[in-house]
Amino acid sequence: MIESFRLNRVQYIPKALEPGVLYVAAEFDIAAHLCACGCGTKVTTPLGPTEWQVNDTGHGPTVVPSIGNWQLPCRSHYVITGGKTLWAGQWSEAQIKAGRSAEQRRRAIHYAARAHDRKWWVRLGKWLRGIFR
Pairing of strands 21-25, 6-9: parallel
Residue 8 clears pLDDT 70, i.e. is over it: yes
The mean of the pLDDT values for the chain is 88
pLDDT of residue 116: 61
Q: Which among 32, 35, 40 is positioned nearest to 10, based on CA atoms?
A: 32
Considering the domain architecture, whether residues 100 and 63 belong to the same structural domain is answered as no
Q: Which among 42, 66, 69, 41 is positioned nearest to 52, based on CA atoms?
A: 66
Question: How many structural domains does the chain have?
Answer: 2
Considering the domain architecture, whether residues 3 and 41 belong to the same structural domain is answered as yes
pLDDT (mean) for 3-26: 97
Considering the domain architecture, whether residues 31 and 46 belong to the same structural domain is answered as yes
Considering the domain architecture, whether residues 50 and 101 belong to the same structural domain is answered as no
Considering the domain architecture, whether residues 69 and 129 belong to the same structural domain is answered as no
Give the burial class of 7: count Cβ atoms within 10 A of its Cβ; 0-12 exposed, 13-18 middle, 19 or more buried: buried
pLDDT tens profile 74-117 = 989 999 999 999 998 787 878 778 877 888 888 788 777 766 66
- Please state, in angstroms and rounded to a whole number, the distance separating the CA atoms of residues 80 and 27: 22
Residue 121 clears pLDDT 80, i.e. is over it: no
